[in-house]
Structure 1
Amino acid sequence: MADLVVGDDGLARPAWAAHDPLLRAYYDEEWGMPVRDERGLFERLSLEAFQSGLSWRTILAKRPAFRAAFAGFDPDAVAAFGDDDVDRLMADAGIVRNRRKIDATIGNARATIALRDDGGLPALVWSFQPPVTPRPTSFAEVPTSSPESIALAKALRAAGFAHVGPTTMFALMEAVGIVDTHLAGSHRRGSSGIWPA
């Protein structure tokens, strides 16, 4: 329990989610819950790519602006973005203005559409669910990648995706419930309905 903080509501959370209201709400309501729809996975894959090198708090605070800038992460709309849209995004102070990540998001929207003929993005991403999930009791025991995240990254790159490295894909797998890395003792451990507490 050393890495968990018991809140004023009596619930145990990791220190990163214990005090900041935005992070606490995200941890309590979203992180680790299954996401199986195309738009939801495309959004989370995109935001994980933008997060690389930054704090998740920064991305979460900018999420409403990201959604507005990227047409609600509708893959069809983003795939149609052209040079004018890239210029608009690069001028948008509400998001992370990184040209490579913006280009990758547009390219990833096109790759998402191309995957529809082969079962779609959700089927591909979820096909890498491991047979077991980590059961960390401390932050030190939480992995940053796995054989499955390495394989997922390779499969996505082969399908034309960018900014999808093994560490970023493991973070995606955690965020959308494919693995459960909630610490033992957390009130959210096992809450996805996929993995037992």
Structure 2
Amino acid sequence: MGERCGWVGKEEIYIDYHDTEWGLPEWDSRALWEKLVLDGFQAGLSWITILKKRDNFREAFADFDPNIIATWGEPEVEKLLQNKGIIRHRGKIEATITNARVWQKIEQREGFDTYLWNYMGGAPLQNAWKTLADVPAQTELSQKISKDIKKEGFKFCGPTIVYAFMQAVGMVNDHVTHCPRHADVAKLNIRD
């Protein structure tokens, strides 16, 4: 059995996230939106910081129901800015509300899941990186998706954030080849 991807570290929450969630193809529109929002909150921080606060985020953001969050305004922003359990960044909080409204538009038009997975031809890209150093921070495709979703109105979704999101939701399999999860995730390349 190979070693896990080198970014995992020793903390149980990180190991569990790597072993049970990261890189698994996600097909649910709302779950995809939640992960994109959380990756936006990560900007400038480490993922473990967000992961440790994820339950607080879910509680503060109505379990990431975009239909609820789309109705929010300044009173909710002010309340969230007082919440010590989340990242209290006005721009990221306001972007979440904006992004919920954009999600609604795309979801109504074609389905947010369909919109995103169309970039992949409906199936994950199976990469074969040998080392962590081989894994890019962004790609031409993440640059295109970032540009396109910004045109739709999304905020905090630059190409590096989008690529981290693509990795997390299994649009790309970026487990390194010696990681036991690489082969497991590669088997999950078809939508049920």
TM-score by length of 1: 0.90
Which of 155, 160, 180 in structure 1 is aligned with 2:173? 180
Alpha-carbon deviation of 1:128?
Answer: 1.6
> Does residue 91 in structure 1 map to residue 91 in structure 2?
no
The aligned counterpart of 2:152 is 159
Provide the C-alpha distance between the structure 1 equivalents of 2:145 and 2:179, rounded to a whole number of angstroms: 28
> Does residue 104 in structure 1 map to residue 99 in structure 2?
no
Unaligned runs of 5+ in 1: 1-9
My pick for the range that moved more, 128-137 or 60-69, is 128-137
The aligned counterpart of 2:68 is 77
My pick for the range that moved more, 118-127 or 51-60, is 118-127
**Contact 2:24/2:169 (<8 A) preserved:** yes
**Contact 1:129/1:148 (<8 A) preserved:** no
Q: Which amino acid aligns with 1:101?
A: K
State percent identity of aligned pairs: 38
CA deviations on 1:78-136 (whole Å, 9 max, x unpaired) are 10111110011000000000000001111000000011232121111112227844311
Q: After TM superposition, what 4+ stretches of structure 1 lie above 6 angstroms from structure 2?
A: none
Provide the C-alpha distance between the structure 1 equivalents of 2:157 and 2:87, rounded to a whole number of angstroms: 17
> Does residue 14 in structure 1 map to residue 5 in structure 2?
yes
The aligned counterpart of 1:148 is 141
Task: Looking at secondary structure, tell me which structure has more helix per residue.
Answer: 2
Provide the C-alpha distance between the structure 2 equivalents of 1:18 and 1:94, rounded to a whole number of angstroms: 23
Q: Which amino acid aligns with 2:141?
A: E
The aligned counterpart of 1:51 is 42
Q: Which amino acid aligns with 1:141?
A: D
Q: Which amino acid aligns with 1:135?
A: A
Provide the C-alpha distance between the structure 2 equivalents of 1:62 and 1:116, rounded to a whole number of angstroms: 27
Cα–Cα, structure 1 residues 190 and 119, in superposed 2: closer, same or farther, change >3 Å? farther
Provide the C-alpha distance between the structure 2 equivalents of 1:18 and 1:157, rounded to a whole number of angstroms: 33
CA deviations on 1:120-162 (whole Å, 9 max, x unpaired) are 2111111222784431101110011111111111110111111
Unaligned runs of 5+ in 2: none
Q: What's the C-alpha RMSD, in Å, of the aligned pairs?
A: 1.6
> Does residue 194 in structure 1 map to residue 189 in structure 2?
yes
Paired positions, count:
186
